A and B are shown apart, each in its own frame.
Chain A
Amino acid sequence: MTDLNKLTLKKAQKLVSEKQVKASEIQQACINQIKAVNGDLNMFLSHLEDPASGQEGALASLPIAVKDNVCTLDFPTTASSKLLEGYRPPYEATIMKKVKNAGGVVLGKTNLDAWAHGSSTETSAFGRTLNPRNSDFLPGGSSGGSAAAVASDTCVVAIGTETAGSIRQPSAWCGVVGLKPTYGRVSRYGIAAMASSTDSPGPIAKTVEDAAMLLDVMAGHDPFDATSNPDKPPSFVKSIDKKVSDLRVGVLYQDLEGLELVRPHIDKAAGIFESLGANVEYAEAMDPHYAISVYTIVQRAEVSSNLARYTGIRYGNDRSFFGDEAKRRIMLGTHALRKAMLINTI
């Protein structure tokens, strides 16, 4: 069988369970594809050289690409920063434990905007990633490496993280499926914290069903993340078969500048929902420019607090190794927190 690296998770799982294909052959096909295209596209910062065996489980030793801000035992974790260059975490993220327990194999670590600060991978200390669909374009970000890895068939499925678009936007730019779960659905433990009150890890995949399959593995309460949702998650794979006829679908922002290009596609999608019996309603919401301002203040403040831990004492390099974007964000956040402190103490 050729092009094993192009298989979807569902198809790969089926072929492996029916013993038509070995998982190691799929891994090898992905490794070969990485070797063929990574020099040009720069998606992987580190990757397996040879197939590895995983545990028994739903993910059946299939190769998964993981954003490099997720702590892994088998690979360095750099958050695409010089400060963490070469850092080998002595522990792994909860989602990595879950993936491994489900039989998944970490194929490699993917590029991102340094510390996930950006929407293009251009702030990575290790060079930007290019879009596999057309290398004149960027893949988006911050999970640009993971989205590009899926789009270039260098992995079966991938993991990204998002606070405000970092899974969905690169997935859209690379023409793959990205899903940002509700905050708290997936554990943040062991992920280089950017904005703790919004960080949400999630799947990036070739199909909706694959995304649901990976989310089923990633989701669930984690006592190590106090904000993770204690409720048992539903089966996302089963949820796909639910009818949409009883859904109310809201379409926001009718005349927003810049929406002209995507408006016909939104209307088309709304039409499909309507034809399936869903109730589509058009509504206005507050101008999102205000939301961006609120996000900028909250995100910078949380960045300032979260990146205070990088002192170069316990691990990593010292604070002079921060890149320009991280410095800007830390300082703006420090300014905001200092202002807030002054106001509160008066």
Chain B
Amino acid sequence: MSSLISKKLVDEIAHLANIPLSEAELQNIAQDFEETLGVINNLSEIDTKNIEPAHHTTGLENILREDIVENDRMLSQKDSLSQAKKTHDGYFVVPRILHND
């Protein structure tokens, strides 16, 4: 299975995860991937056909609340912006995602 982890695959995943990687990091992570996937591959030894899936431990279902403004946890605009590196006229500045071309 080691051969499955190509640098190309790692590069694709890095793109999906929005993680900037250097060439050296790509190489290292490809190797780490192989190791970790090798370890967790032991799950293929178990027959899970008759095992009921477990989704959650609490047994809680459909936790609802009133659709109202919760002042207790509402941040002011000033507080919301207080930790941003770049703001403009009371807004967060985000990278451009739409382009003309």
If A290-B43, A319-B20, A327-B25 touch, whether A90 touches B83 (CB-CB below 8 Å) is: yes
Interface segment, one of A121-129, A151-159, A212-220, A291-299: A291-299
Chain B residue with the shortest CB-CB distance to A326:
B19
Asked whether, in the complex, the Cβ of A330 is within 8 Å of the Cβ of B17, the reply is yes
B27 within 8 A of A: no
B100 within 8 A of A: no
Asked whether, in the complex, the Cβ of A88 is within 8 Å of the Cβ of B82, the reply is yes
CA gap between A332 and B16 in the complex, in Å: 11
B20 contact from A290, A296, A297, A320, Cβ within 8 A = A320
B16 contact from A227, A319, A334, Cβ within 8 A = A334
Residues of chain B lying within 8 A (CB to CB) of residue A294: 43
CB-contacts of A48-69 with B (<8 A)? none
CB distance from A9 to the nearest CB of B (A): 29
CB distance from B27 to the nearest CB of A (A): 13
CB-contacts of B35-50 with A (<8 A)? 36, 39-43, 46
> How many residues on the A side are at the interface (Cβ–Cβ under 8 A)?
42
CA gap between A312 and B83 in the complex, in Å: 10
Asked whether, in the complex, the Cβ of B60 is within 8 Å of the Cβ of A227, the reply is yes
Asked whether, in the complex, the Cβ of B10 is within 8 Å of the Cβ of A331, the reply is yes
Residues of chain B lying within 8 A (CB to CB) of residue A319: 18-20
CB-contacts of A311-346 with B (<8 A)? 311-317, 319-320, 322, 324, 327-328, 330-332, 334-335, 338
Asked whether, in the complex, the Cβ of A334 is within 8 Å of the Cβ of B17, the reply is yes
CB distance from B6 to the nearest CB of A (A): 12
B13 contact from A88, A229, A289, A334, Cβ within 8 A = A334
A87 within 8 A of B: yes
A197 within 8 A of B: yes
CB-contacts of B61-80 with A (<8 A)? 63, 65, 73, 75, 79-80
A273 within 8 A of B: no
B1 within 8 A of A: no
Asked whether, in the complex, the Cβ of B73 is within 8 Å of the Cβ of A328, the reply is no
B58 within 8 A of A: yes
CA gap between A285 and B95 in the complex, in Å: 51
Asked whether, in the complex, the Cβ of B94 is within 8 Å of the Cβ of A313, the reply is yes
Residues of chain B lying within 8 A (CB to CB) of residue A227: 56, 58, 60, 63
Asked whether, in the complex, the Cβ of B13 is within 8 Å of the Cβ of A313, the reply is no
A91 within 8 A of B: yes
Residues of chain B lying within 8 A (CB to CB) of residue A289: 42
CB distance from A228 to the nearest CB of B (A): 9
CA gap between A227 and B60 in the complex, in Å: 7
CB-defined A-B contacts under 8 Å, sample of 24 = A87-B83, A89-B83, A90-B75, A90-B79, A90-B82, A91-B79, A184-B58, A290-B46, A293-B39, A293-B42, A297-B40, A308-B18, A312-B85, A313-B84, A314-B80, A314-B92, A319-B19, A320-B20, A327-B21, A327-B29, A331-B10, A331-B14, A334-B17, A335-B9
Contact surface of B with A, Cβ cutoff 8 Å: 9-10, 13-14, 16-21, 25, 28-29, 32-33, 36, 39-43, 46, 56-58, 60, 63, 65, 73, 75, 79-80, 82-85, 92-95
Q: Which 5 A-B residue pairs are closest in the complex by CB-CB distance?
A: A315-B83, A90-B79, A293-B40, A334-B17, A226-B63
